[in-house]
Amino acid sequence: MKKKKARPIDLSLLEINRDALWNSLSAESDRGCALIAAAHLDAALGVLLNQFFATPAPEEFFKGSGPLATFSSRIDLSFCLGLIPTYIRRDLDLIRSIRNEFAHELDLEINFESASIAARINESHFAKLVGFKGKKTRVLISVDGDLTNGKVLSTKDFFLWSVSSTMGTIHDSSLKTHRLISHEVWFKSHEDLFEQ
C-alpha cells in the first residue's frame, strides 16, 4: 500500500502579528476597520477550509461565483463541518453584517457608535462575556497582572476584541484540523499493520 504524506500546511495568513493587526485596524476609519477586519477573517476561513479538505480546492472555488467565494458561504461550511463553534459562527455573521452595512451605506457619518452597528457589536460573544453596555464601558483588563485599573473601551474597541478573539479561534481550529488530518493520514498509511 502506497503511503500517503500529510499535506504541508500554509498558515501564513493566520500567523499575523495580532498587535500589528490591532494597531493597523485601530488607525483606520471605522469603515476601513470593518472592511479590513472582515477581509482578514474571510481569508482565514478560506485557509481553514482548504486545510480541512482531503486535497486543496481549486482556486476557482474561492473566486468569482465559486462555491466558497463569499464570506457567508465560508462561514456556513466551516460551521457545518464542525470547524468552528456556534458562538464563532454567530460572531462571524455579526461581523459580516457590520461589514456589509459599512460597505453599502452611503451615509458618511456611519460609525461604530451608530445604533444599528453598536447593537450588533453588543450581541457579540466577547461583548456579552465582559458585559458591554453600549457606547463606552469600563472593563477590568489585566496589565502586568494588575486588575485594579479599569479601562473604558469604545464600541470600536469591542469590535476589535471580537475580531481578535474570533481570529484566534479560527487559528486554533486550523491547527487542530491539521493535527487531525496528519493523524488520519498516519492511520491510513499504517492500516496494513492492523489487517488480519
Highest mean pLDDT: which of 14-23, 85-94, 120-129, 139-148?
A: 85-94
Identify the pLDDT of residue 133. 60
Least confident of 8-12, 16-20, 47-51: 8-12
Q: Please give the helix or strand (H or E) that residue 151 lies within, else none.
A: strand 150-154
CA dihedral 76, 7, 17, 96 (to 10 degrees): -10
Range 12-23 average pLDDT: 65
* Domains of the chain as residue ranges with CATH: 18-193 (1.20.120.330)
At 140, the pLDDT band (50, 70, 90 cuts) reads very low
* 51 CA to centre of own chain: 15
Identify the pLDDT of residue 4. 41
pTM above 0.75, yes or no: yes
Q: Tens digits of per-residue pLDDT, 155-177? A: 898 899 889 889 888 888 877 76
CA-wise closest residue to 40 among 57, 63, 16: 16
Measured CA to CA, the distance from residue 48 to residue 11 in angstroms comes to 8
